[in-house]
Amino acid sequence: MLRLLFLIALFCGCSGFTNNQQQLTRLSSPKNNKPITTLNVLPEAASGSFEYARQYFFIWFFGGSGGAGVALRQFPAQYKKFQLLQSMADEGQSLGGESIGISPLCLYPRDINKADLDKVLNNKLSVTQMVEKGPKVSYMAQKGYLSYAAFSDANKNCNPLTVRAVFDAISTGDNANPIEAQETLDAFANDTNLFKSELLRTKLTGFASIAFLLFLLGPIVGSTCLEAAAAGWFPEWDGNANLPWSLLVGPGFWTIPQYWI
């Protein structure tokens, strides 16, 4: 799944970056139609050394460092979170009974039982007490924010999937403003439909942020990875000046082995 997301970002990004390059070169083109130099997204050191170019490729492709690297690491983190959520389907005990009917778009492995939800929402501890007594696993938690770890610890006798669902409904991440969290939990206790709608809203917000991140990173990461790969493994290939279209149109990716170093 992660590889598929990256390939989509890479291809779309390269296309978008190429179009941006063409627009920039048209705008900067002198009226006498002199030859235009193609913009290069690689630093000079990477362009002149295949060893450096290869290192640059791995940094950007695997997100090892830099701003794009930090952003790219969110994809395996989100996938790991999704896998953990699926593993909670049969974890812990459930009070059973009537389910509340959460939206399938939330991508939960099963529905939430109303009895389990009520048990979490009727916790006698306030959010402030949860923060004070809970583990300080992050900088935000140390600064007084409600972390998922603290919320889970305060509800350790409740159904784990339900605990995760309630926290997901109050935050798109693993930390929540304690004042807002308390107000939201109180509102959920009085209105189950509000809980369902907020859970769906936060989930869709999270999915949209990932899609937007792909859209933003695509032009930069896609073009940089392709140019770095070209400079690192086949710098003399005739199609390097017209990536990514030269891979398919001409001279074609099948000619690359002739220039491989």
**Cβ(41)–Cβ(224) below 8 Å:** yes
The helix/strand/coil state of 175 is strand
How much is the pLDDT for 153? Answer: 96
| SS3 category, 74 | helix
H helices within 110-191, ranges in order?
A: 114-121, 127-133, 139-142, 148-154, 160-170, 178-190
Rounded to the nearest 10 degrees, the angle between the axes of helix 160-170 and helix 178-190 is 120
pTM given for the model: 0.58
Over its length of 261 residues, how does the chain's per-residue pLDDT go in tens digits? 444 344 344 444 444 434 444 333 333 334 444 443 344 555 555 555 666 676 666 665 555 444 445 455 556 666 778 888 889 999 999 999 999 999 998 889 999 999 999 999 999 999 999 999 999 998 999 999 999 999 999 999 999 999 999 999 999 889 999 999 999 999 999 999 999 999 999 988 877 776 665 555 555 555 666 677 777 777 777 777 777 667 677 777 777 777 777
Instruction: Give the pLDDT score at 10.
Output: 44
How distant, in Å, are the alpha carbons of 173, 246, 250 from that of 83?
16, 38, 41
Q: 63-106 pLDDT, tens per residue? A: 544 444 545 555 666 677 888 888 999 999 999 999 999 999 88
Q: What is the pLDDT of residue 4?
A: 39
Please tell me the distance from the alpha carbon of residue 114 to that of residue 120, in angstroms, as a whole number: 10
Q: Is 113 helix (H, G, I), strand (E, B) or coil?
A: strand
Task: List, in order, residues 6 or more apart from 172 with CB less than 8 Å away.
Answer: 202, 205, 206, 209
- Predicted pLDDT of residue 31: 43
| Local structure of 91: helix, strand or coil | coil
The reported pLDDT for the residue numbered 255 is: 76
